[in-house]
A = this chain, B = another copy of it.
C-alpha cells in the first residue's frame, strides 16, 4: 500500500499557506501570491501549463516528484474553488480547466453534496460529505499501491495530521512573510502527534523540509 502524503505544500516563514480574502481573483488570498512562487517558476510547472522555460534544479525536482506515483488526491473544497456554502449550480469545475493536472480520482471534502465530475485526462472529482476518514477510505480503494496525496489547504492537512493519518509531510518554506490568513501550524503540535523533521534541502526559491510520523 502506498503512503498518505503531503508534498510540495507551500507555507510562508510565518506558517501561512494562504492570505486572507481568498476569491476568484486571489486563489491564495491577498498578499500571499509569493508563497507558491517557487513552484510557478519551475520547469515542471511551465511544462504543466504548456509554457516554455522554467527553472531546473532542486525546486523543479521537488515539484516533479510531488506529482509522481499518486493514485488519488484529497483536497478541501476551498482548494477546489472560491465558492463557499451550497453550490449555486454545477458550472464550477475547478481552477484547472478541462484537463486538470491530477489524472486520477480527486476526493473533494465538502459539506454540500454534488455528483462526480469526469474531466479530460483521467481526473474525476468526487465530492465527499461524510468526513476525512471516509474520503481516505475511498482514496485507498482507488489508489492501490500508489500514494494518496493530501493536497490542501491548510485546514484539511491539519485535520489529517491531527488524526495521525498522514505518513509524510513535505513542505516548501518560501522566504516571505504573510502575516494573516490560513496558518498551517495554528493549534498544531507536530511533535505531540509524533511527527519530526528529518530533512531540509535549500532550493533556489524555497527551503524543502520533510517530516515523517515516527513509528510508535
Contacts and interface: CB of A to CB of B under 8 A. Distances in A.
Interface of A: 13-15, 31, 171, 173, 175-180, 185, 188-192, 195-197, 199-200, 202, 207, 209, 211
A197 B177 contact: yes
Q: How many copies, total?
A: 2
Contacts of A31: 191
Chain A binding surface, main DSSP class: loop
Contacts of A200: 175, 207
A211 B171 contact: no
A200 B173 CA distance: 11
A177 B213 CA distance: 12
B207 A178 contact: no
Contacts of A13: 171, 173, 197, 209
A189 B179 CA distance: 4
